[in-house]
A and B are shown apart, each in its own frame.
Chain A
Amino acid sequence: MIAAATLAALATVCAVGAWRLTSHRWTWRAPRAAILLWQSLGVTWGLASVGALLAFALQPFGRGIVHGLAYIGHHWREPHDLPRIVSLVAGLALLAALSTVLMWAGVETLRARRRHRMLLALIAREEPGVPGVRVLDHPGAAAYCVPGLRSQVVISAGTLRLLSPDELTAVLAHESAHVRERHDLVLLPFAALSRILPWSKTVHEAHASVALLIEMAADDRARRQCSPKRLATALLRFGTAAAYATPYGALGASTGENVMARVNRLVKPRAELPAHARFAIVAGSALLTASAPLLWLLPG
């Protein structure tokens, strides 16, 4: 019973922790550590929720979750009372649902990127002034990367006109930070969850928080190579480029608040969280991540 109760408590702690973390601003002072914390909260929440259901179902066998599952699989035994059978089915269904959603999101993303890359190969051009960058002939302002094994950085012709050379360098440094640190892989599970649970405010905000933290991490990496002020003015120019850049009427999901938050970090940097605090977050995340798998193995 202890394992089931502990796992249920752990899942609750993660859910409450995620809900609290969405409203905290100290994360902006250590985006990298905060991203790690978010990842460990997500993984632990999933494993603990599934684990709590399975631990309750398998408790009569006294073998823990992993060995208990192996036992009933091997001996074709099932729990005897109805609540435990329901719990077993629910646990396995949740596990299947979570893994399916992640795999489906991965496949969808790969497919979207493949199509995007094929089109780029046919219509994007090279620009002598910015080697290694694909240019899309469109007056709108866009700068992005298509992540993958061979990532591509793409800007629109509108961006070339909108930004000064220094600003362009800053934007490209920001994008290559995304490429180098594979931020897309960090974001994928959060995007997937927020797509299938659109009514969950916490999941939605978790996704938004991680997305913003990733941008801040890339800003931090870029500012080592370029002027933070130029990165900030580039951000503002993009944010206000809508006037002539939206032939489509609608606008993206981003908010001016996010842009201002990033600009303020660049022009009025607050001290990064002290090293010991960052270490504590990283160590706490590691501990949290290890806890659920250990409880899965614990007998009884």
Chain B
Amino acid sequence: MKGLGELERSIMDILWAERGPLTAREVGRLIADRDLAPTTVMTVLDRLTRKGFLTRTRDGRAWRYEPAASRDAYVAELMLEALDLTGDRSAALQRFAQAVSGSEAEILRRALTELEE
């Protein structure tokens, strides 16, 4: 059986690929690993909901789950942090270098051309 982290990932992928919200049973059917116990799927869905990555709505006696945000939105969130554009000045990440703009970028571009010759 896959680790819990791997499973969270596959389940997010399944829900991102779907158009509408799914029940735990439907998610279980779409998972490649057929031997998975339904309770495991439930557990992982519950964990992801608590972490805020899924939202759930009542549908009769079952819950229907869907991603709280699109995959692209999360990629953009990580990228904003990676480029230090969130305005938050904490030292959470250690970045290699950042892009500069305007005339400063022009100076760098010229230096690059010189170095490459």
Contacts and interface: CB of A to CB of B under 8 A. Distances in A.
Interface of A: 105, 108-109, 112-113, 116, 118-124, 136-138, 140-147, 154, 156, 171, 174-175, 178-179, 183-184, 187-188, 191, 194-195, 215, 229, 232-243, 245-248, 250-257, 259-260, 262-263, 267
B115 A184 contact: no
Count class of interface residues, chain B: 35 or more
Given A116-B78, A248-B83, A143 B111 contact: no
Nearest to A120: B78
Main SS class of interface, B: helix
Nearest to B103: A256
A122 B91 CA distance: 23
Contact of A123 (B74, B83, B115): B74
B83 A147 contact: no
B81 to A, nearest CB: 6
Given A144-B82, A256-B107, A236 B112 contact: yes
Contacts of B1: none
Nearest to A254: B98
Interface string B93-116: 111111111001101110110011
Nearest to A266: B115
Given A138-B75, A240-B105, A178 B94 contact: yes
Interface in B1-58: 5, 8-9, 12, 51, 53
